[in-house]
Amino acid sequence: MSYSSPVAAGFMFGRVLSRFRERLGLAALAFALLFVGAQSVLAHEFKAGDLEIEHPWSRATPAGAKVAGGYFTVVNKGGTPDRLLSISSDISEKAELHEMGVKDGVMTMRPVSGGLEIPAGGKVALAPGGYHLMFIGLKRQPKQGEKFAATLTFEKAGTVNVEFAVEGMGEMGGMDHD
């Protein structure tokens, strides 16, 4: 079979696409879009200078919750260390970098002062149970499936606009902070 014109090719493509959609459903279509779109649906990353910020994500929060966590991995491909200095987002009054640890047998969180170093050629993961961002004073509840914008400021790489993908509440979704 050959396509004699772009119009015919487009028509055939449309036919194939609609049949494909019928047979495999929307989930498969979303997966197919991974290979078409510039930015993927499931994984996403942001670049600034030598830094790559991989898959920023947050959790949906129960109604009335005042805080939400923020997580991602920063990869430093450069030859000098950098430092995450500050975070801001329209979703909350303020955002802090926190560290989780055990003090006197009790899990505690405390703000990290002086920023978080991203070693040269290394990476740092912000994840539940360790370093994380805290969006404090939520202006609304982040909903599962949406993305919200935030700005990260690094000492050398400067300011990076990222989007946090909101995932389900999960086991630790209701954790409290002071």
Q: Which is nearer to Cu ion, 108 or 161 (CB)?
A: 108
Give dist(CA 8, CA 101) in Å, integer: 63
Non-local CB neighbours of 149 within 8 Å, separated by 6+ positions: 89, 90, 161, 162, 163, 164
Burial class of residue 6 in the structure, from the number of CB atoms within 10 Å of its CB (0-12 exposed, 13-18 middle, 19+ buried): exposed
Site string for Cu ion, 40-79 (x = CB under 5 A): ----------------------------------------
Note whether 98 binds Cu ion by CB under 5 A.
Answer: yes
Of 8-16, 87-95, 106-114, 120-128, the segment contacting Cu ion by CB under 5 A is: 106-114
- The size of the interface with Cu ion (CB under 5 A), counted in residues, is 3
Of 102-110, 115-123, 140-148, 166-174, the segment contacting Cu ion by CB under 5 A is: 102-110
The two beta strands, 123-126 and 67-76, are antiparallel
Which two three-digit tokens encode residue 119? Answer: 């070693």
Note whether 165 binds Cu ion by CB under 5 A.
Answer: no
Residues that bind Cu ion (CB under 5 A): 98, 109, 134
